[in-house]
Chain A
């Protein structure tokens, strides 16, 4: 124990007092600093003044660059709010509607002509012409900017774009592309003064809102574009904040701190303040057919039969999904209405695995079930249920939960080597509305996100992609059926539904595009007692 009579009492007491004084001064300084930093009493999302639409997202957009709008976190803020494309896809009917282009037609086998809307100006006052459209397409698809929209929508395709006149644009493809206008609905139009050397931080477009500030880490604020060519949106201002925890997002709606909250979790959201909607996402197990025992179609089929889709949906997904038989949900061109989810048949699945084992297939080789944290609410429980169900039919499965980057290593080519058989839990969203975007990624043999395939399937996909109209729908529907019968790259699980938090103060009807493109101009003040 220390002595109470130190050698220099006054000096030591002075030191102790100094320490206490430092503590107290520090407290006061920090407290005063806080008070200075927090002079805005409205909070991050702003006050419920009826003039600011407050949206809480799951994460801060990594960028607002328009050519990155195919990224969900970017697109939900940018698309059709700040920038607009030439044409837009109606998320309900699937048909294309005019936006910055008033009309379009295929004038030659590989050339499409678009007529530009007159009288449109960008938020910087610059008039919109065909030259801007040509510039934007060139910048997003043909440049070295490495835009995500390029990879997701156009693949290796290069376009030749030409502004014939201020109101007319031609786009020529390398080969016949019957869905070019649909692809161009992903290209956001920017003024031709936009940098071609670097991606922009604050985008300029023709949309109903313009960015007024982006406080990194805190919020993004928008103000109504008073010179907007279309109908003026109801709210003069909009403000985005982000909270990664679904229960906090739900609480912000309950408490009146936000008007709209994305991607709520059925376990924490108040049903009175939420709206469920089909979000075009489909979950499935991608089975690596290059590795035993998954290289045996009987084992792959057995996995599909072992899964109790309805049980998982009811027990773990809050009923917010529908059993899936294919990678594309209803409403997407090529969806096959006749395909039914594989029935839940444990005994038959077990018999198939036994049959494979009898033929020398190493069915006890450990399969790694890779799933991504946060991909949807309850994913780890779903992975555990799948592990249990696969084990019940005689397979040996271990779970690996991964973050996005690690999951991508399993998902995209070049696929990892020497990792054994992998069943990858994926969630695929076909926001473009055409099965070509799914098959080119997930089903062709050398697709960026497929592990294997067959020449016949590749041929069928290529043939379907060259068609248009009803013939295209039929051909892709047959492709999906063929894959289920003879290739079985996937054990499809469920067509998912999103859950949107909606304050009673606002009225908004989410659709299948909402998760990627939430049009703020479609939100209005609610009449009392209804959304």
Chain B
């Protein structure tokens, strides 16, 4: 297991490094923040002082080296926009997104396991057809459209839910989570169904049925455990997508999460915050990937056996 983990860490760390370096360099191609942060009348001296104070007058390799060495000491610089520590801004915003993405994914997995299993138990039945239609529709709906329609229908029209915001009772979670949930739920239902159909036709299930196991026992006691690996794989990828895709939900519903912080940082050329946000997101995705792999290995010994020591 240790060897498996070590190899997965190394292979997953390579794209992490590329993402961090790529964002650093690409951000600097978008323009000079001096133009955004200093007034029209700023003197060349003020512009030079601003650049020097934030290290923009150094060459890109020097800036990169400074960034990496400071980041190693957990110093991510200061936000040009707010003057706050970039690290603390990111650490404030990130849990908001993580909470949203985590809740969404857990609900998506649990819901998909239930609906997908029901659909798979009787293939081509009415339930299966309805589940298929709904999941395909859900996986295809653009999230921003769903969010706006949700606000208009459930917020304004029916007056059941608040339009947006982060303060309030549990009802404030419904529309953001529903918006984020719809696509992963649709995809996962398809995956669970496909995986379960195969599992339910396997010999061991027939054996279990012949021994008198009931439908619940067959589905949840036998087939589900053996068909969960592909579900976890897809769920892992979808969770990664959720962390990034929270941008739409956060923007529309006013959630002060990492997605919105990233967008604001890009628009405001707030490099320090952008870099810190990307780094933390990349590390989280890296950790999520490792976690998914570990779950695979825990469930299916062949996964860890496939990785030579």
Contact with B along A53-66 (1 / 0, CB 8 A): 00000000011000
Flag the segment in A144-152, A299-307, A357-365 that touches B.
A144-152
How far, in angstroms, from A6 to B204 measured CA to CA in the complex?
A: 11
- Cβ contact within 8 Å between B102 and A26: yes
- Cβ contact within 8 Å between A41 and B169: yes
How far, in angstroms, from A248 to B253 measured CA to CA in the complex?
A: 8
Q: Please indicate the chain B residues that have their CB under 8 angstroms from the CB of A217 in the complex.
A: 92-93, 256, 260-261
Q: Please indicate the chain A residues that have their CB under 8 angstroms from the CB of B26 in the complex.
A: none
Interface residues of A in 277-320 (CB under 8 A from B): none
Interface residues of A in 40-60 (CB under 8 A from B): 40-45
Known contacts A62-B82, A218-B166: does B156 contact A251 (CB below 8 Å)?
Answer: yes
Residue A454 lies at the interface, judged by CB distance under 8 Å to chain B: no
Q: Please indicate the chain A residues that have their CB under 8 angstroms from the CB of B41 in the complex.
A: 150-151, 154-156
Closest Cβ of chain A: how far from B53's Cβ, in Å? 11
- Cβ contact within 8 Å between B165 and A30: no
- Cβ contact within 8 Å between B82 and A216: yes
Closest Cβ of chain A: how far from B43's Cβ, in Å? 9
Residue B207 lies at the interface, judged by CB distance under 8 Å to chain A: yes
Residue A31 lies at the interface, judged by CB distance under 8 Å to chain B: yes
Residue A110 lies at the interface, judged by CB distance under 8 Å to chain B: no
Say which residue of B35, B162, B199, B298 sits within 8 Å of A412 (CB atoms).
B35
Residue A15 lies at the interface, judged by CB distance under 8 Å to chain B: yes
Of A13, A147, A218, chain B has the most CB atoms within 10 Å of the CB of A218
How far, in angstroms, from A148 to B83 measured CA to CA in the complex?
A: 16
Q: Please indicate the chain A residues that have their CB under 8 angstroms from the CB of B50 in the complex.
A: 146
Nearest CB to that of A4 among chain B residues?
Answer: B204
Known contacts A146-B50, A252-B164, A257-B163: does B173 contact A34 (CB below 8 Å)?
Answer: yes
Known contacts A216-B256, A243-B164: does B40 contact A30 (CB below 8 Å)?
Answer: no
How far, in angstroms, from A36 to B82 measured CA to CA in the complex?
A: 28
How far, in angstroms, from A529 to B198 measured CA to CA in the complex?
A: 65
Residue A10 lies at the interface, judged by CB distance under 8 Å to chain B: no
Closest Cβ of chain A: how far from B125's Cβ, in Å? 23
Interface size class of A (residues with CB under 8 A): 35 or more
Q: Interface majority SS on B: helix, strand, loop or mixed? A: helix
Closest Cβ of chain B: how far from A151's Cβ, in Å? 3
Nearest CB to that of A403 among chain B residues?
Answer: B267
Interface residues of A in 231-275 (CB under 8 A from B): 241-245, 247-248, 251-252, 254-255, 257
- Cβ contact within 8 Å between B167 and A146: no
Interface size on B, residues (CB 8 A): 73
Say which residue of A16, A247, A409 sits within 8 Å of B148 (CB atoms).
A247
- Cβ contact within 8 Å between B159 and A255: yes
- Cβ contact within 8 Å between A15 and B168: no
- Cβ contact within 8 Å between A43 and B159: no
Known contacts A40-B167, A244-B251, A406-B31: does B106 contact A33 (CB below 8 Å)?
Answer: no
Known contacts A1-B202, A4-B204, A33-B99: does B39 contact A38 (CB below 8 Å)?
Answer: no
Q: Please indicate the chain A residues that have their CB under 8 angstroms from the CB of B228 in the complex.
A: 16, 19
Residue B21 lies at the interface, judged by CB distance under 8 Å to chain A: no
Residue B172 lies at the interface, judged by CB distance under 8 Å to chain A: yes
Known contacts A243-B254, A405-B269: does B202 contact A4 (CB below 8 Å)?
Answer: yes
- Cβ contact within 8 Å between A201 and B83: yes
Q: Please indicate the chain B residues that have their CB under 8 angstroms from the CB of A152 in the complex.
A: 39-40
Closest Cβ of chain B: how far from A511's Cβ, in Å? 26
How far, in angstroms, from A412 to B251 measured CA to CA in the complex?
A: 29
Residue B23 lies at the interface, judged by CB distance under 8 Å to chain A: no
- Cβ contact within 8 Å between B165 and A151: no
- Cβ contact within 8 Å between B226 and A23: no
Say which residue of A2, A144, A216, A257 sits within 8 Å of B226 (CB atoms).
A2
Say which residue of B49, B83, B148, B300 sits within 8 Å of A199 (CB atoms).
B83
Q: Please indicate the chain A residues that have their CB under 8 angstroms from the CB of B300 in the complex.
A: 2
Residue B208 lies at the interface, judged by CB distance under 8 Å to chain A: yes
Known contacts A12-B301, A30-B106, A241-B165: does B151 contact A1 (CB below 8 Å)?
Answer: no
Residue A3 lies at the interface, judged by CB distance under 8 Å to chain B: yes
How far, in angstroms, from A27 to B113 measured CA to CA in the complex?
A: 15
Residue B2 lies at the interface, judged by CB distance under 8 Å to chain A: no
Interface residues of A in 51-93 (CB under 8 A from B): 62-63
Residue B210 lies at the interface, judged by CB distance under 8 Å to chain A: no
- Cβ contact within 8 Å between A255 and B156: yes
Residue B30 lies at the interface, judged by CB distance under 8 Å to chain A: yes
Contact with A along B190-208 (1 / 0, CB 8 A): 0000000011001011011
How far, in angstroms, from A154 to B41 measured CA to CA in the complex?
A: 8
Of B39, B99, B295, chain A has the most CB atoms within 10 Å of the CB of B39
Q: Please indicate the chain B residues that have their CB under 8 angstroms from the CB of A412 in the complex.
A: 35, 40
How far, in angstroms, from A412 to B37 measured CA to CA in the complex?
A: 13
Residue A448 lies at the interface, judged by CB distance under 8 Å to chain B: yes
Q: Please indicate the chain A residues that have their CB under 8 angstroms from the CB of B287 in the complex.
A: none
- Cβ contact within 8 Å between A44 and B204: no
Residue A35 lies at the interface, judged by CB distance under 8 Å to chain B: yes
Closest Cβ of chain B: how far from A437's Cβ, in Å? 11
Known contacts A147-B39, A151-B42: does B106 contact A38 (CB below 8 Å)?
Answer: no
Residue B54 lies at the interface, judged by CB distance under 8 Å to chain A: no
Residue A486 lies at the interface, judged by CB distance under 8 Å to chain B: no
Q: Please indicate the chain B residues that have their CB under 8 angstroms from the CB of A38 in the complex.
A: 166-170, 172
Residue B141 lies at the interface, judged by CB distance under 8 Å to chain A: no
Q: Please indicate the chain A residues that have their CB under 8 angstroms from the CB of B165 in the complex.
A: 43-45, 241, 257
Known contacts A201-B83, A244-B251: does B268 contact A4 (CB below 8 Å)?
Answer: no
- Cβ contact within 8 Å between B267 and A31: no
Say which residue of B163, B167, B267 sits within 8 Å of A252 (CB atoms).
B163
Closest Cβ of chain B: how far from A432's Cβ, in Å? 14
Residue A5 lies at the interface, judged by CB distance under 8 Å to chain B: yes
Nearest CB to that of B144 among chain A residues?
Answer: A245
Contact with B along A394-434 (1 / 0, CB 8 A): 00000000011110110010000000000000000000000
Closest Cβ of chain A: how far from B171's Cβ, in Å? 9
How far, in angstroms, from A257 to B165 measured CA to CA in the complex?
A: 10
- Cβ contact within 8 Å between A30 and B99: yes
Say which residue of A7, A43, A199 sits within 8 Å of B168 (CB atoms).
A43
How far, in angstroms, from A5 to B205 measured CA to CA in the complex?
A: 11
Closest Cβ of chain B: how far from A33's Cβ, in Å? 6
Say which residue of A4, A144, A218, A252 sits within 8 Å of B222 (CB atoms).
A4
- Cβ contact within 8 Å between A405 and B298: no
Residue B252 lies at the interface, judged by CB distance under 8 Å to chain A: yes
Q: Please indicate the chain B residues that have their CB under 8 angstroms from the CB of A149 in the complex.
A: 39
Nearest CB to that of B163 among chain A residues?
Answer: A251
- Cβ contact within 8 Å between A18 and B298: yes
Residue B62 lies at the interface, judged by CB distance under 8 Å to chain A: no
How far, in angstroms, from A7 to B295 measured CA to CA in the complex?
A: 18
Nearest CB to that of A441 among chain B residues?
Answer: B40
Residue B225 lies at the interface, judged by CB distance under 8 Å to chain A: yes
Q: Please indicate the chain A residues that have their CB under 8 angstroms from the CB of B64 in the complex.
A: none
**B interface residues, Cβ below 8 angstroms from A:** 30-31, 33, 35-42, 46, 49-50, 81-84, 89, 92-93, 99, 102-103, 106-107, 109-110, 148, 151-152, 155-156, 159, 162-170, 172-173, 198-199, 202, 204-205, 207-208, 222, 225-226, 228-229, 251-254, 256, 260-261, 266-269, 295, 298-301
- Give the 5 A-B residue pairs with the shortest CB-CB distance, closest first: A151-B39, A217-B256, A4-B204, A44-B165, A151-B41
8 contacts between A and B (CB under 8 A): A27-B103, A34-B173, A151-B38, A218-B166, A241-B165, A244-B251, A251-B163, A409-B35
Extra pairs beyond A62-B81, A412-B40 (11, CB < 8 Å): A1-B199, A15-B298, A16-B298, A23-B106, A30-B102, A43-B172, A201-B82, A217-B260, A243-B252, A255-B163, A403-B267
